[in-house]
């Protein structure tokens, strides 16, 4: 099973993760999020070229337990979407940080990364009652 919290990622209170790389960033949901949701049965993602705004919904993840909106941790333009998730949404459960990634964006405001939690802060956030 995948590592629960990755040191090289940034996290949001809504349990999205971000892997920045220059002006680009890959986004998905954390191990904690997929574990809480249960078996993922459907993922709806934006189209390539869509413009995202930090804090606004960009998609939906549906599990056997619930339907949840996905919130963009950063503003930017969608460069790539993980098309595999349309037919194999279970990758979000088995590999949320690798094959289960959701979108890649070109950040329009890279300074928004400063508002996200590092691994230690996210671990602390998860341990709060």
Q: Does residue 56 sit within a domain?
A: yes
Between the CA of residue 49 and those of 24, 46, 56, 78, 122, what are the distances in Å? 14, 8, 16, 5, 30
CB 102 within 8 A of CB 45: yes
CATH number of the domain enclosing 47 = 2.40.50.100
The maximal CA–CA distance of the chain, rounded, in angstroms, is 39
Q: Write the pLDDT tens digit of every residue in 8-52.
A: 999 999 999 999 999 999 999 999 999 999 999 999 999 999 999
Q: Does residue 117 sit within a domain?
A: no
Domain that holds residue 73: 10-108
Q: Write the pLDDT tens digit of every residue in 59-104.
A: 999 999 999 999 999 999 999 999 999 999 999 999 999 999 999 9
Q: Does residue 49 sit within a domain?
A: yes
Question: Can you read off the two tokens belonging to residue 93?
Answer: 């459960």
Q: Does residue 94 sit within a domain?
A: yes
Q: What are phi and psi of 42, to 5 degrees?
A: -160, 140
Contacts of 125 (CB under 8 A, 6+ apart): 11, 13, 117
Q: For the chain, what is the domain count?
A: 1
Q: Does residue 114 sit within a domain?
A: no
**Which residue, chain included where needed, has tokens 């930090």?**
54
Q: Does residue 48 sit within a domain?
A: yes
Q: Does residue 35 sit within a domain?
A: yes
pTM of the predicted model as reported, rounded to 2 decimal places? 0.95
């Amino acid at each position: 099973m995948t590592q629960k919290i990755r040191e090289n990622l940034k996290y949001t209170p809504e349990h999205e993760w971000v892997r920045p790389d220059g002006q680009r960033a890959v986004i998905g949901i954390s191990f904690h999020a997929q574990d809480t949701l249960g078996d993922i049965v459907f993922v709806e993602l934006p189209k390539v070229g869509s413009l995202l705004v930090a804090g606004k919904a960009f998609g939906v993840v549906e599990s056997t337990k619930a339907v949840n909106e996905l919130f963009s941790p950063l503003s930017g333009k969608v460069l790539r979407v993980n098309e595999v998730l349309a037919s194999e949404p279970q990758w979000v459960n088995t590999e949320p940080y690798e094959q289960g990634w959701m979108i890649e964006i070109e950040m329009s405001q890279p300074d928004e990364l400063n508002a996200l939690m590092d691994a230690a802060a996210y671990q602390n956030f998860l341990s709060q009652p």
